[in-house]
């Protein structure tokens, strides 16, 4: 058996695990990253790419934003389309911060390259990962590495391995409380070789259902349609997709959406999930291993960046000063922000999605909320602050130092 030693064993080579490893390296803390999938799979896995200003600043401060700053699409606002009418919200003017579109797979490539340049240890196609947690000594992560049984001794385990990973289930029964919600709609996601419908994101509310027009580059669009829960891509040939996009994204008196070859399509279920606490002994959860938000507000990647930024600071305090206060308080510090993002994402789902058939009351409430966002400066400002992530700075009273009960 191979026997290795590190300070922090990180399970999962998504943005959370890779960024945590890099931040720890910059603070002089050793880590290894274990990933079940191949490098090719990880680098090509398409996920949402809307980054808040705060996330971009973390990447800049860590020296990881060179390619992002050259290639990311910078957005000062967004567009709501309701009944064929445009309503633009300038979130930079309303909230003082902007957003950026940069494919998550591109960020992953940047992070892997940075870790390799710094001599970091990232192992792909690692099988049979089993965390064995110890509260009074080194913990162990057992796995199969390059076909060989391997035992990694470590002080801490960081679970960055997603909702279906192995780290969260390693917490003994009775030590974790979970909260979840499944939504009655799903999203059909499409990647198309077509120019974006707009220079900024377009959120379209329509009687046929919600549609979102996003982008990956000036030549590639990322498009979404609200569909029924449990729907299948087999029900959506390309011509039906374009027909529905034209109908939901149309603007009265303006040119139609430009079509192009559809490169990928998939159906994404909408769900919310939070695990409390986000830690157990030497195990700390981050990103999708601890929480999932529906994609309506694109908060998942940004929450993961926040998680590992806070966690890296806690590890640094422990290894530099022997101070466990930040480690012990990790979950309490993160959960108010996470629940703020969960609530906003849930509210966005209600704002944008077609209500259930026959729910006339729900439809009228939706219209009242849309009217407030597009017509009330106060409501628009509140929306903008939540959309760019500023509201999370105040969650739990953390910014003012006055934590709420």
Annotated catalytic residues are 75, 203, 295, 299, 387
Bin 273: left if φ > 0, else alpha if -120 < ψ < 50, else beta. beta
Q: Are strands 8-11 and 31-34 parallel, antiparallel or unpaired?
A: parallel
- Asked if 218 contacts 284 with a C-beta cutoff of 8 angstroms, the reply is no
- Asked if 279 contacts 331 with a C-beta cutoff of 8 angstroms, the reply is yes
- Asked if 208 contacts 241 with a C-beta cutoff of 8 angstroms, the reply is no
Give the CA distances from residue 225 to residues 180, 190, 195, 244, 278, in Å, rounded to whole numbers and listed in that order. Answer: 23, 9, 17, 8, 33
Sheet of 262-276: strand order equals 85-89, 78-82, 202-205, 211-217, 220-228, 177-192, 262-276, 291-292
Q: Is the peptide bond between 269 and the residue preceding it cis, with omega within 30 degrees of 0?
A: no
Secondary structure (DSSP) of 315-358: HHHHHHH---HHHHTHHHHHHHHHHHHHHHHHHHHHHHSPPPTT
**Long-range contacts at 53-57 (CB < 8 A, ≥ 24 apart):** 53/97, 53/98, 53/99, 53/100, 53/388, 53/389, 54/97, 54/302, 54/305, 54/306, 54/389, 55/301, 55/302, 55/305, 55/306, 55/389, 56/100
Whole-angstrom distance, CA of residue 184 vs CA of residue 179: 17
**End-to-end alpha-carbon separation of the chain, Å?**
49
Q: What secondary structure letter does DSSP report for 146?
A: T
Q: What secondary structure letter does DSSP report for 163?
A: T
CA angle, 347 then 87 then 343, to 5°: 10
Whole-angstrom distance, CA of residue 265 vs CA of residue 262: 7
Q: Are strands 211-217 and 202-205 parallel, antiparallel or unpaired?
A: antiparallel
Q: What is the widest separation between alpha-carbon atoms in the chain?
A: 70
């Amino acid at each position: 058996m191979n026997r290795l030693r590190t300070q922090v064993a990180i399970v999962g080579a998504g943005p959370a695990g890779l960024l945590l490893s890099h931040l720890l390296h910059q603070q002089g803390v050793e880590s290894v990253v274990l990933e079940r999938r191949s490098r090719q799979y990880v680098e090509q896995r398409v996920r949402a790419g809307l980054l808040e200003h705060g996330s971009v600043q973390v990447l800049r401060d860590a020296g990881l934003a060179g390619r992002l700053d050259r290639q990311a699409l910078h957005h000062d606002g967004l567009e709501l389309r309701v009944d064929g009418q445009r309503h633009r919200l300038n979130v930079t003017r309303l909230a003082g911060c902007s957003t950026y579109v940069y494919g998550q797979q591109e960020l992953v490539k940047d992070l892997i390259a940075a870790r390799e340049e710094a001599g970091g240890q990232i192992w792909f196609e690692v099988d049979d990962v089993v965390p064995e947690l110890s509260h009074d000594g080194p913990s162990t992560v057992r796995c199969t590495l390059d076909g060989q049984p391997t035992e990694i001794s470590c002080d801490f385990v960081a679970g960055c391995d997603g909702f279906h990973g192995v780290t969260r289930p390693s917490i003994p029964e009775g030590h974790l409380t979970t909260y979840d919600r499944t939504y009655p709609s799903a999203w059909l996601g499409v990647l198309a070789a077509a120019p974006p419908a707009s220079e900024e994101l377009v959120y379209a509310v329509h009687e046929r259902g919600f549609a979102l027009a996003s982008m990956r580059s000036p030549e590639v669009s990322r498009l979404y349609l609200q569909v029924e829960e449990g729907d299948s891509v087999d029900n959506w040939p390309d011509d039906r997709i374009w027909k529905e996009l034209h109908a939901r994204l149309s603007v009265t008196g303006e040119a139609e959406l430009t079509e192009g070859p559809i490169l990928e399509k998939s159906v994404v279920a909408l769900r919310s999930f939070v695990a409390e606490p986000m830690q157990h002994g030497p195990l700390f959860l981050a990103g999708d291993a601890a929480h999932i938000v529906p994609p309506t507000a694109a908060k998942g990647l940004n929450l993961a960046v926040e998680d590992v930024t806070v966690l890296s600071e806690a590890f640094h305090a422990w290894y530099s000063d022997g101070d466990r206060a930040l480690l012990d308080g990790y979950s309490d510090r993160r959960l108010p922000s996470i629940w703020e993002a969960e609530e906003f994402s849930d509210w966005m789902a209600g704002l944008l999605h077609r209500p259930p058939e026959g729910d006339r009351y729900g439809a009228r409430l939706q219209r009242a909320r849309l009217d407030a966002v597009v017509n009330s400066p106060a409501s628009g400002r509140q929306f903008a602050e939540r959309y760019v992530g500023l509201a999370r700075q105040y969650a739990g009273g953390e910014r003012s130092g006055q934590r709420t009960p």
